Copies of this chain bind each other. A is one copy, B any other.
Amino acid sequence: MTNFKAYLNHISLDCVIFGFHENQLKVLLLQMKYTKKWALPGGFVKKEESFEEAAERVLKERTGMDNIFLQQFHVFSDPKRSEMNPAVKDLEKSGSGEGLDWFSQRFISTGFYALVDFHKVDPAPDFFSDKCEWKALEEIDNLMMDHRQILDKALETLRLHLTYQPIGYNLLPKKFTMPELQKLYETILGKSLDRRNFQRKILSYKILNKLDERKKGGAYKAPYLYEFNLENYNKALKEGFSGSW
């Protein structure tokens, strides 16, 4: 990762990787080696790669996972967004002259968001960072460069998609309970929903299979387990829900 010849100049991508854990929406972040600033996992695009392939590669490297749900959402092209890029400082300290040239150029970054099953992720830092960790949305502040803006835009897009697309297959384990699914929706939307109405509505979409099993081990009354009906789920992904006109 110190030979940049294989990559397209001034093009980068940043990934907002969402996971759901302990009833919180979390994002996978890297802590830069020298500046200690937190940053979104990102990468560059090889000369024969599509952006989607590049994003998959980055995702694989940071999470160990394949086939991640991935969605591009915006291009961040402000010519000043790369100014004072802390990564440059990180490279100065690491003494890589070649890298310095690379990092001092202007970067146009395409934002992707990814939805992953928290438990399946094995976080791995990259060459420029020494930590890779999940952070709950509330504990995140002061990200590198314009990464806060990128994160906000990703969240905004995710919320929008929620209103006309099913979500959850990529964020939850194979079997899950209705309260868990509801918590996921509530977390993304940032507001609480009525239990009964939520259930009626989500069931009306026909994207769930109710299982005979109940979730054991928890306290109190054991909730039923559900799984996604993939056929209908994928159909809903393509066609979308309702739409007002």
Contact = CB atoms under 8 A, between A and B. Distances in A.
Interface stretch (A36-44, A61-69, A237-245): A237-245
A180 to B, nearest CB: 17
A163 B75 contact: no
Interface size class of A (residues with CB under 8 A): 20 to 34
Contact of A78 (B50, B74, B189): B50
A84 interface: no
A244 B163 contact: yes
A77 B78 CA distance: 19
A162 B51 contact: no
A52 interface: yes
A82 to B, nearest CB: 12
Nearest to A78: B50
A47 B245 contact: no
A232 to B, nearest CB: 18
Contacts of A160: 164, 240, 243
Nearest to A74: B72
Identical copies of this chain, number: 2
Contacts of A10: 8-9, 11
Contacts of A211: none
A8 B105 CA distance: 11
Contacts of A74: 72
Given A8-B10, A10-B8, A244 B164 contact: yes
Contact of A51 (B48, B51, B72, B77): B77
B245 A49 contact: no
B79 A49 contact: yes
Given A10-B8, A108-B51, A163-B245, A75 B77 contact: no
Nearest to A188: B245
A226 interface: no
